[in-house]
Structure 1
Amino acid sequence: MGTTSLKLPEDLKQTIQQFAEQDRVSAHAFMLRTLQDEVRRRQQRAEFVADAMAAAAEIDAGGPVYDAEDVFDWLHARIRARGTDEVVPEPVPVRGRGSKPKKKAA
Structure 2
Amino acid sequence: MPAACLQGDRWKAHRKVFCSEFQQSSVQSYATVHLRAAKILASRLLRSPCQLKEHLRSNAAGVTMGVAYGIENESENTRFLAIAEKALEGMAAAAKPGQFFVDFLPFLKHLP
TM range (shorter): 0.3 to 0.5
Q: TM-score, normalised by structure 1?
A: 0.33
Structure with a larger share of its residues in helix? 2
> Which of structures 1 and 2 has the bigger CA Rg?
1
Structure with the bigger RCO (C-alpha within 8 Å, sep 6+) is 1
Q: TM-score, normalised by structure 2?
A: 0.32
